[in-house]
Homo-oligomer: A and B are copies of this chain.
Amino acid sequence: MTEISIQNCLKSNVGAFGLSPADIQSAGKALKAANLSLDEQRRRHEIGFFDLPDNISEAKKIAAIAGKWRGKYENFVVIGIGGSALGNIALQTALRPWTWNLMSASQRKGWLKIFVPDNVDPTLIGGLLNTLDMSKTLFNVVSKSGTTAECLANYFILRNALEKKVGKAKANDHVIFTTDPEKGYLREKGRKEGILTLNIPPNVGGRFSVLTPVGLLSAAAAGIDIVSLLAGAKAMRERCANSNISKNPAALYAWAHTLFYKKGRNVHVMMPYSNELKDIADWFRQLWAESLGKKTDRKGKTVFVGPTPVKALGATDQHSQVQLYIEGPHDKVITFLSVDKFGTELKIPSYDKHPLGGKNLGQLLKAEENATRDALANEGRPNLTVSVPEVNARSVGELLFLFELATAYSGEFFDINAYDQPGVELGKVLTHKYLSA
């Protein structure tokens, strides 16, 4: 089961810069209000992500769709950006080997290679054009509005190459849209041309959409057990239906971070000690930044609030960032993502009687994690640890839902709307202006 430890957030472990047990327990009233508010928003169907773990039958349908592609196609390309890409990447990194796209079809047991070109850089898309055999490739165009410029631009370019290879008539067999159930360019086009089109619930924002078809389809195409993913999310949801802060991991995560933010810690680092979990930290960046970075609170008061999420990776970043975390300003809270048991064990052979000989590689990584945690605490640097027994579909589902809920709680604690992004509108207008110029 996913566990959260905040021992190294407390004064007892990190000294003056820590929280007191009373600070933690002071959440009582705020947590009660947050639970009421979230329940109310959920009843009004404003926030749909809460209900996604129950969509087991939809997950089974998606798995069945992907099952038909197995052995038939080689590549699955997700054409999406932001919330239409980050969850896909996180699932792929967590639950498939990092060498997946280099493996043969038989090593992949017929499941598809996954590509997520989440930018409009011509060198990125050009590389894809030079690499993919279009006749063996599926394209999943993912845009909630169905109108995202980056997404359509890439789609048009890739579609053109696809048509050249397989012909106009057959191109639609290689395309799946994931979009709003009713409106937008993709929905209309899908309807008109009979393209398989999956739904994104209108009340689920892009950054909370990993457990909708947005994230589930590519995962299923790579053979990931998406039903277990939902089961893990559901288990976490149930654990977090608790008004005791100590027994509600999401609320505890949010509360500790809110308190530290108010004490001037504006940098929130997520540092998995696991390459498999590293892109969960990247996915979390969007969730935390876009949800909590707000100019005004819900009363309309100007607040300019928002912690800056930073992704790091242990042990790698011990050789890059930890010097700063240990000696720099007191402006950070660090979350370790920790794995009890690695999916692979590798023994370090004995050469020249080197003391590393005979240890497991995972032991070294774990020793480095423990050492870094202790060293940070020793220097009065607050940190917390979220640990999973092992990385699998269920535990990843738990983690994803934990952080989504923690984001929702943080929105409540900051009294802001965690589900909009008004700050990016001007950029869209200006992009249009520059593009027309």
Given A323-B290, A351-B156, A361-B122, does the pair A318, B427 have CB atoms closer than 8 Å?
Answer: yes
A412 within 8 A of B: no
Within 8 Å by CB of A435, from B367, B429, B435, lies B367
Within 8 Å by CB of A295, from B86, B118, B327, lies B327
A237 within 8 A of B: no
Interface of A is mostly: helix
A120 within 8 A of B: yes
Q: Do A289 and B321 touch (CB < 8 A)?
A: yes
Q: Do B331 and A266 touch (CB < 8 A)?
A: yes
Specify which chain B residues have a CB less than 8 angstroms from the CB of A326 in the assembled complex. Answer: 293, 423-424, 426-427
Q: Do A427 and B120 touch (CB < 8 A)?
A: no
Specify which chain B residues have a CB less than 8 angstroms from the CB of A315 in the assembled complex. Answer: 81, 119-120, 150
Q: Do A427 and B324 touch (CB < 8 A)?
A: no
Per CB-CB distance, the 10 closest pairs between chain A and chain B, nearest first, are A82-B319, A293-B324, A306-B328, A371-B430, A367-B434, A126-B344, A293-B328, A286-B320, A326-B423, A327-B423
Chain A residues packing against B (C-beta within 8 Å):
81-83, 85-86, 97-99, 101-103, 107, 118-131, 149-150, 152-154, 156-157, 159-160, 185, 189, 206-207, 266-267, 274-276, 285-286, 289-290, 292-295, 304-306, 308, 310, 313, 315-316, 318-332, 342-352, 354, 356-357, 359-368, 370-372, 374-375, 378-379, 421-424, 426-435
